[in-house]
Structure 1
Amino acid sequence: MAWPNRADILPFLSWLPKQTRASVGRDAVVGLSGAVLALPQSIAYALIAGLPPEYGLYAAIVPVIIACLWGSSWHLICGPTAAISIVLFASVSPMAVPGSQDYIGLILLLTFLAGIFQWLMGMLKFGALANFVSHSVVLGFTLGAAVVIALGQLPNALGLDIPSKATALDSLLTLLAHVREFDRASLGLAFATLLVGIVLKRWLPRWPGLLIALVSASLMVWGWPQVFGHVRLVQAFVPSLPPFSPLPLDLEAILRLLPSAVAVGMLGLVTSLSIARSLAARSQQILNANQEIRAQGLSNVVGALFSGYLSSGSFTRSGLSLEAGARSPLAGVFSALWVALFAVTGAKLIAHIPIPAMAGGILLISWGLVDTRGIRALWRVSRAEFAVMALTCVATLLLELQTAIYAGVLASLFFYLKRTSRPRIQRWREGDEEVLRVGGSIFFGAAHYLQVRLQRTQGKRVVIEAQHINFIDYSGVEMLHQEARRLRETGRSLTLRGARPQVVEELKKLEGAANCPILFEG
């Protein structure tokens, strides 16, 4: 592990001194727009995670500032997200009562562990490992998470008091058993919020639709107490900046949370890097993936100590930052400062938001998670990747969410290994030569496939066109030596033509250059 230099420790010093009064003013305005978008979302995500509403605001303050100052992207803005919130809830709710102090402590401990995992990946420059969680896994998990979130919020939308369940199937069965007990006023508020949000999103997409919908529902409850007076409201909280939160350093709890911390930490990295790369391509920015990973980890480590639960990149807030013309990561910093101002001055307003309206807003968010365009494109481009997406989605509905992520990753690796284990091989005859052009690396998974093709050759001189062989491992080396000796015993030969120097070097190591049974041509 290389010792970090000054640019790694304080990366914001490379761009912060270059800011002007005009750019800072622009970023402050963009940050205000981001805060208006973040306020209702952060509260909704906290409720999804089983936390009091103020913890959503806390997660949009310190972690965001750290990620913006220490990150690489100009426009990536982090914060709580729906998918990660539901994973946290599924991971910790079996260990403590949601909303309790023990539950909050475990959520923050899981956040701290996930942050340590992310930071270590960045320090060890393992940013490429995040690529093992393929886009199809993210699509499938997000689709499944949207369904899980919706099922979890339907009781609130219907005015039912139903305990949460471990899987989506259990939640659905429990909901069906109590659906006839629904409250009409609660359902009306949820439907009205959902309808206002949909209309504003379609016809006035630049307006803060979710915020307007929640304010409208709150006014309805305030204006017609005879109809909505019994509807539950969001829990009030004491206005404050994010307080320091000592973590419960219980070894047993740490060991139970570690698998979930790794899973949700990897999910957060994949989400953040995907968004950052997409924005960098549009803004012509060169992205430092390992720096971004370190920043994500540091933001969650420090954020957990200041009551911020796990955060990752937010596509809506990051996209707004790019489209609104943010000049630097200061836009994200200002967004966090605006949220902090609201956490201090606007706590009483939050206590007027009805729970069914918040459920309607969360249903709107969950629908926005579904990438229908991406799913259709996946079906057209790769049926194998579509199968991975479908498997991940089904696993998300039937299993615990962190287990579903692992299932999707394993499915992606299975299809990748299956594809690479059968490299493209073209074969033709040239007199007494039989030529095989191999279009892929020769590793343990592909060695047997190539060996079978070599054993079917008939030419006196067997030639492998090796220009496209980038890598060969011990299994591949042993197999080629074995086939070369077999051919030599029958008066034939095996020749590699145009092989890369590193491939030739590996082949000569096994028995020494003088005893290598394989011939080489430039």
Structure 2
Amino acid sequence: MRWPDRLTLLPFLAWLPQQSLRSVSLDLLSGLSGAILALPQSIAYALIAGLPAEYGLYAAIVPVLIACLWGSSWHLICGPTAAISIVLFTSVSPLALPGSADYIELILLLTFLAGMFQWLLGLLRFGSLVNFVSQSVVLGFSAGAAVVIAIGQLPNLLGLEIPSQATALASLLKLGQQLPNMDWASCLVAAFSLLTSLLLRRFWPRAPALLLGILAGSLAVWALPRFSANVPLVSAFSGQLPPFSPLSLDPATMLRLLPTAVACGMLGLVTSLSIARSLASTSQQLLNANQEIRAQGLSNMLGAWFSGYLSAGSFTRSALNLQAGAHSPLAGVFSALLVALFAVLGAGLIAHIPLPSMAAIILLICWGLIDFQGIRALYRVSRSEFLVMTLTFLATLLLELQTAIYAGVLASLFFYLKRTSQPRVQQWREGEEELLRVEGSIFFGACHYLQLRLQRSHGQRVVIEAQHINFIDYAGVAMLHQEARRLLAQGRSLTLRRARAQVIEELHKLEGPEYCPIRFEA
């Protein structure tokens, strides 16, 4: 038995010793921006999940530390998310009163089970699941998620209070009804923060533009108290470090929560891997999906014991991390430590941040999530992949966010199967020979198409140029045997020319070489 090396057990040793003073400084600034953004978001998501506000902060500390240190992505930041919070609330609220001690205990136990499921998938090397999330799905999901997040922030930007809706379309319709009640002071504060960030990006590219934009909005509200009297601020809270939460591992309760834990675990993984892949394509990083899955599972397994509820990759915080110039996962570590520091010492300062400023900065981040260049390139290269991207984008607006990912993956698989079920076949006559050059695998999905092409051939000898056939399954073997016997009954023959050795071997397995009705030529 081979024992894992220290880089497998402690993967952060691969990048931590390589840090320089400049890279640490960049990561510290990125972590500070991420912490400022994570504080109000985490509190809001905890309330959506039916938990006390402080549990959102706990979920942004220990799970984030573990996911960053043991993960593979340079820029992925985990923590509480809107989609996960909504799913948790709808799943657990029928079992206990939201906010109660029993409810909190069930949420943390479900988090532990979901983390264990994720960790086991990582051990079994199921990271190949990320291969089913095509680039077109990533582009569509990124653009759609950006629009969904932006729509979700519009009420804060306009000074409106609108209950959380299941889909972006429902949120937009609800927003339209409340538009006459918008607060102009909130809009102006948001515009001031947004303009400050844009000007800083234009004339001082290395400055932490997003953080300074939030600071500018906060100073404007502080300097003009009469004008900004109705501008909403981040809710005040009293924080502490995450307390240890012993879990009650009751078998009956665990069995009752297991189906939901598996569903939530899969949702978290698909979301996190989609985000990580999107970030990796931007930063030109090679992603280790199995390591990322193990890190996600470990963060939820251990985070649950420190009052952290189920976390997953966050598009908003990860995009901010990338755009702020993060150099390594150390930015996420700094973000978690600063959240812990702010939770203990800076609760009063956080309460001075205007929500419209936060909303404006998030809108700026959302704009950066949309890869316009990639979308244009996809349109030029492949119309079918562009259609998958469009379907995924529309699904994020019309369906729940996690459902949109599944819809995009299914659309990709549909077009893939459609293409592979009709391999390219070139057909021509040379005297008494009818030749067919097949370019693609002969599997169950392509058998009917190829059988029709063979039945429409009229040559005395039907020859398949087989050098481009890499794979054949049982259905393909049975179909070729059937067609060969049909041709023999008509006094004709079926020949495979220049077939690969593994293809010939599979064709001989059905009845043996001596009884095989198919001829072979080198």
TM norm structure 2: 0.86
In 1, Cα distance between the equivalents of 2:108 and 2:157?
28
- CA pair 100-234 structure 1, distance change in 2 beyond 3 A: farther
User: What is aligned with 2:10?
Assistant: 11
Residue type of the partner of 1:261? G
- CA pair 40-91 structure 1, distance change in 2 beyond 3 A: same
1:107-122, aligned counterparts within 5 Å? Answer: 112=112, 114-122=114-122
In 1, Cα distance between the equivalents of 2:489 and 2:90?
66
Query: How large is the RMSD of aligned CA atoms in angstroms?
Result: 3.2
Cα offset, 1:215, TM superposition: 1.3
In 2, Cα distance between the equivalents of 1:381 and 1:32?
40
1:341-420, aligned counterparts within 5 Å? Answer: 341-420=341-420
Aligned residues of 1:60 and 1:308 also touching (Cα < 8 A): no
User: What is aligned with 1:78?
Assistant: 77
User: What is aligned with 2:274?
Assistant: 270
1:362-511, aligned counterparts within 5 Å? Answer: 362-511=362-511
- CA pair 186-257 structure 1, distance change in 2 beyond 3 A: farther
2:99 to 98, 101, 117: 101
In 2, Cα distance between the equivalents of 1:305 and 1:336?
17
Residue type of the partner of 2:134? S
Cα offset, 1:447, TM superposition: 0.9
In 2, Cα distance between the equivalents of 1:365 and 1:287?
23
In 1, Cα distance between the equivalents of 2:144 and 2:281?
24
- CA pair 13-377 structure 1, distance change in 2 beyond 3 A: closer
In 1, Cα distance between the equivalents of 2:4 and 2:254?
34
In 1, Cα distance between the equivalents of 2:350 and 2:369?
24
The answer to whether 1:42 aligns with 2:5 is no
Aligned residues of 1:40 and 1:210 also touching (Cα < 8 A): no
Aligned residues of 2:164 and 2:171 also touching (Cα < 8 A): yes
Moved more, 155-164 or 102-111: 102-111
Secondary structure of 1:499 counterpart: coil
User: What is aligned with 1:127?
Assistant: 127
In 1, Cα distance between the equivalents of 2:41 and 2:467?
52
- CA pair 77-94 structure 1, distance change in 2 beyond 3 A: closer
Say how many residue pairs are matched.
Answer: 505
In 1, Cα distance between the equivalents of 2:493 and 2:446?
21
User: What is aligned with 2:321?
Assistant: 317
Cα offset, 1:4, TM superposition: 6.6
Cα offset, 1:276, TM superposition: 4.1
Residue type of the partner of 1:149? I
Moved more, 192-201 or 205-214: 192-201
Deviations along 1:292-313, whole A, 9 cap, x unmatched? 3222322233234432652338
- CA pair 367-111 structure 1, distance change in 2 beyond 3 A: farther
Cα offset, 1:89, TM superposition: 4.2
Residue type of the partner of 2:513? A
Cα offset, 1:378, TM superposition: 1.7
User: What is aligned with 1:259?
Assistant: 263
1:114-263, aligned counterparts within 5 Å? Answer: 114-245=114-245, 252=256, 254-256=258-260, 258-263=262-267
In 1, Cα distance between the equivalents of 2:205 and 2:176?
35
- CA pair 194-480 structure 1, distance change in 2 beyond 3 A: same
In 2, Cα distance between the equivalents of 1:404 and 1:177?
26
Aligned residues of 1:27 and 1:334 also touching (Cα < 8 A): no
Cα offset, 1:332, TM superposition: 4.9
- CA pair 67-238 structure 1, distance change in 2 beyond 3 A: same
Cα offset, 1:476, TM superposition: 0.8
Deviations along 1:38-68, whole A, 9 cap, x unmatched? 1233235426635477666545543343234
Secondary structure of 1:428 counterpart: strand
Deviations along 1:239-283, whole A, 9 cap, x unmatched? 4333335569675555346434323321212322453466465xx
Aligned residues of 1:86 and 1:145 also touching (Cα < 8 A): no
Residue type of the partner of 1:49? Y
Aligned residues of 1:481 and 1:516 also touching (Cα < 8 A): yes
Deviations along 1:441-462, whole A, 9 cap, x unmatched? 1111111111111112222222
In 2, Cα distance between the equivalents of 1:207 and 1:109?
42
| Identity score, percent | 56
Unaligned runs of 5+ in 1: none
In 1, Cα distance between the equivalents of 2:282 and 2:193?
31
Cα offset, 1:94, TM superposition: 4.3
Cα offset, 1:358, TM superposition: 1.9
Deviations along 1:185-209, whole A, 9 cap, x unmatched? 2222222222223333344333222
Deviations along 1:332-370, whole A, 9 cap, x unmatched? 545544444444332221111122222222222222222
Aligned residues of 2:44 and 2:56 also touching (Cα < 8 A): no
- CA pair 271-320 structure 1, distance change in 2 beyond 3 A: same
1:325-340, aligned counterparts within 5 Å? Answer: 332-334=332-334, 336-340=336-340
Aligned residues of 1:269 and 1:296 also touching (Cα < 8 A): no
- CA pair 373-308 structure 1, distance change in 2 beyond 3 A: farther
In 1, Cα distance between the equivalents of 2:237 and 2:254?
28
Cα offset, 1:493, TM superposition: 1.3
In 2, Cα distance between the equivalents of 1:401 and 1:500?
45
Unaligned runs of 5+ in 2: none
Deviations along 1:398-447, whole A, 9 cap, x unmatched? 22222222211111111110011111112233332222111111111111
In 1, Cα distance between the equivalents of 2:429 and 2:411?
39
Moved more, 496-505 or 445-454: 496-505
Moved more, 444-453 or 217-226: 217-226
Aligned residues of 2:484 and 2:493 also touching (Cα < 8 A): yes
